[in-house]
């Protein structure tokens, strides 16, 4: 009889504990704010509900930063910022949060760095007074692996599907502008592209533009031998840095067609309103002595081929769509 009572008490205790755990998980899921961690496999971020005690922006930032570096004893995830990575200082100015890290930040491998950055940005942009974040390492703006400026980041800067790795394959339709056969006008081509979510859209556009058109009736406007050094977007301006191959002369293509092939293609992105082109970082050049590269060019459809289909017509007909399989960097 005593054993039955003990078993009953034990069952009640276990059910009570399970109920408390379930309630706590429910409260975390329903929490207004989340702290982002990294899963044990180091493949994605995990959001855990959290209610900060601070009410002002400065206090909430400090509280979230403490959580981001705090060691977590969980079997499913760990803190986003490795203990060896030191945040030296930060400041909030006009809704932009500047974060200054020590040199140890650059010692993280690529995947860990992206996940760390994603967790920090997603956590801190929940603060109402923080609209965007920029990272610095010892007073220098953070660059990616290719040497491109990372620039301002928001939570939307990171493409990561729930339950999938951060480098999953995404699909997007992009509009690129190539030259017509005569080199006198621009021809738009809509391409449906499969790409790794680790690549920025501006880099994707430039890489596909350099590969040239896939449909008939068009040719690449950009000179042969041109390679992308880096591309970044800051405050609505797309900065495109090309190698010296861009200066190769091909007089079959009119100068404005070359420039606006790049400008119009990038300006199709919602975060790009102007474009500046440089050659190995030098923008003091006049392209063929006619187009000043120090200028910031805006979208211009005056050089469109009169016989070119509109973007809407291409989408409706689907005749010019091309599927491009990009290699998964981890595959």
End-of-domain residue from the set 102, 136, 157: 157
Instruction: Clarify whether residues 105 and 232 are in a common domain.
Output: no
The predicted structure's pLDDT at residue 193: 83
> In this predicted structure, which of 152-166, 176-190, 228-242 has the lowest mean pLDDT?
152-166
Taking residues 47-70, what's their average pLDDT? 93
Taking residues 112-125, what's their average pLDDT? 91
Question: Dihedrals φ, ψ of 305, to 5°?
Answer: -65, 130
The answer to whether residue 17 sits within a structural domain is no
Strand partners, 39: 77
The answer to whether residue 68 sits within a structural domain is yes
Residue 21 has pLDDT above 60, yes or no: no
Taking residues 215-239, what's their average pLDDT? 89
Q: How far is CA 42 from CA 118, 123, 166, in A?
A: 12, 18, 10
- Per-residue model confidence as pLDDT tens digits over 247-282: 987 889 999 999 999 999 999 999 999 999 999 888
The pairing of beta strand 274-279 with beta strand 237-242: parallel
Taking residues 223-233, what's their average pLDDT? 90
Instruction: Clarify whether residues 223 and 121 are in a common domain.
Output: no
Residue 167 has pLDDT above 70, yes or no: no
How long is the chain? 331
The predicted structure's pLDDT at residue 194: 76
End-of-domain residue from the set 131, 157, 183: 157
Determine the Cα–Cα distance for residues 89 and 100; give it in Å rounded to an integer: 5
- Residue 128 is encoded by which pair of tokens? 């109402």
Q: How confident is the model at residue 23 (pLDDT cuts 50, 70, 90)?
A: very low
The answer to whether residue 280 sits within a structural domain is yes
- Of all residues in the chain, the percent with pLDDT exceeding 90 is 53
Instruction: Clarify whether residues 149 and 173 are in a common domain.
Output: no
The predicted structure's pLDDT at residue 317: 46
Instruction: Clarify whether residues 173 and 104 are in a common domain.
Output: no
Containing structural domain, residue 54? 29-157
Instruction: Clarify whether residues 188 and 144 are in a common domain.
Output: no
Taking residues 78-107, what's their average pLDDT? 94
Residue 166 has pLDDT above 60, yes or no: no
Instruction: Clarify whether residues 301 and 176 are in a common domain.
Output: yes
The highest-confidence range among 7-21, 151-165, 189-203, by mean pLDDT, is 189-203
- Per-residue model confidence as pLDDT tens digits over 272-328: 999 999 998 888 899 988 899 989 999 999 999 887 654 444 444 443 433 333 344
Instruction: Clarify whether residues 40 and 180 are in a common domain.
Output: no
Are the C-beta atoms of 125 and 155 separated by less than 8 Å? Answer: yes
The answer to whether residue 306 sits within a structural domain is yes
3-state secondary structure the chain: CHHHHHHHHHHHHHHHHHHHHHHHHHHHHHCCEEEEEEECCCCCEEEEEECCCCCCHHHHHHHHHHHHHCCCCCCCEECCCCCCCCEEEEEEECCEEEEEECHHHHHCCHHHHHHHHHHHHHHHCCCCCCCEEEEEECCEECECCCCCECCCECHHHCCCCCCCCCCCEEEEEEEEEEEECCCCCEEEEEEEEEEECCCCHHHHHHHHHHHCCCCCCEECCCCCCCCEEEEEEECCEEEEEECHHHHCCCCCCCHHHHHHHHHHHHHCCCCCCEEEEEECCECCCEECCCEECCCCEECCCCCECCCCCCHHHHHHHCCCCCEEECCCCCC
The predicted structure's pLDDT at residue 104: 94
The predicted structure's pLDDT at residue 169: 62
Nearest to 191 by CA among 76, 83, 314: 314
> In this predicted structure, which of 29-43, 115-129, 183-197 has the lowest mean pLDDT?
29-43
Instruction: Clarify whether residues 116 and 215 are in a common domain.
Output: no
Instruction: Clarify whether residues 177 and 314 are in a common domain.
Output: yes
How many domains does the chain divide into? 2
Average pLDDT over the chain, rounded to whole?
81
Residue 13 has pLDDT above 60, yes or no: no
- Of all residues in the chain, the percent with pLDDT exceeding 70 is 78
Residue 59 has pLDDT above 60, yes or no: yes
Q: How confident is the model at residue 24 (pLDDT cuts 50, 70, 90)?
A: very low
End-of-domain residue from the set 157, 180, 211: 157
The answer to whether residue 163 sits within a structural domain is no
Determine the Cα–Cα distance for residues 79 and 166; give it in Å rounded to an integer: 17
Residue 33 has pLDDT above 80, yes or no: yes
Instruction: Clarify whether residues 153 and 198 are in a common domain.
Output: no
Residue 12 has pLDDT above 70, yes or no: no
Looking up tokens 């951060």 gives: 166
Instruction: Clarify whether residues 292 and 211 are in a common domain.
Output: yes
Instruction: Clarify whether residues 123 and 175 are in a common domain.
Output: no
Q: How confident is the model at residue 128 (pLDDT cuts 50, 70, 90)?
A: very high
For residue 274, is it left (φ>0), alpha (ψ between -120 and 50) or beta? beta
Determine the Cα–Cα distance for residues 291 and 314; give it in Å rounded to an integer: 30
The predicted structure's pLDDT at residue 222: 95
The answer to whether residue 1 sits within a structural domain is no
The predicted structure's pLDDT at residue 144: 75
Which tops the pLDDT comparison, 7 or 228? 228
The answer to whether residue 2 sits within a structural domain is no
The answer to whether residue 162 sits within a structural domain is no
Nearest to 308 by CA among 224, 184, 210, 196: 184
Residue 110 has pLDDT above 90, yes or no: no
Determine the Cα–Cα distance for residues 267 and 273; give it in Å rounded to an integer: 6
């Amino acid at each position: 009889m005593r054993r039955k009572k003990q078993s009953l008490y034990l069952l009640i205790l276990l059910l009570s504990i399970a109920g408390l755990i379930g309630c706590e998980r429910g409260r975390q899921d329903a929490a207004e704010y989340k702290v982002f961690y990294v899963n044990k496999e180091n493949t994605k971020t995990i959001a855990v509900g959290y209610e900060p005690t601070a009410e002002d922006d400065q206090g909430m930032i400090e509280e979230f930063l403490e959580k981001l570096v705090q060691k977590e004893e969980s079997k499913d995830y760990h803190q986003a910022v490795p203990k060896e990575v030191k945040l030296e200082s930060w400041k909030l100015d006009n809704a932009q949060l500047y974060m200054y890290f020590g040199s140890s930040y650059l010692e993280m491998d690529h995947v860990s760095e992206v996940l760390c950055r994603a967790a920090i940005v997603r956590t801190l942009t929940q603060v109402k007074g923080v609209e965007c974040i920029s990272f610095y390492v010892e007073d220098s703006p953070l660059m990616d692996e290719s040497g491109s400026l990372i620039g301002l980041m928001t939570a939307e800067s990171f493409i990561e599907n729930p339950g999938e790795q951060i480098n999953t394959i995404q699909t997007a339709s992009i509009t690129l502008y190539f030259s017509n056969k005569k080199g006198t006008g621009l021809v738009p081509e809509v391409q449906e592209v499969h790409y790794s979510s680790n690549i920025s859209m501006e880099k994707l556009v430039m890489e596909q533009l350099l590969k040239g058109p896939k449909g008939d009736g068009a040719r690449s406007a950009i000179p042969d031998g041109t390679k992308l050094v880096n591309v970044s977007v800051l405050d609505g301006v797309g900065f495109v840095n090309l190698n010296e191959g861009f200066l190769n002369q091909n007089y079959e293509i009119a100068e404005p067609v070359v420039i606006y092939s790049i400008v119009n293609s990038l300006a199709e992105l919602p975060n790009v309103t102007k474009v500046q082109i440089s050659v190995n970082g030098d923008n003091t050049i006049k392209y063929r002595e006619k187009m000043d590269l120090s200028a910031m060019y805006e979208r211009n459809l005056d050089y469109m081929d009169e016989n070119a289909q509109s973007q809407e017509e291409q989408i409706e007909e689907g005749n010019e769509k091309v599927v491009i399989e990009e290699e998964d960097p981890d595959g």
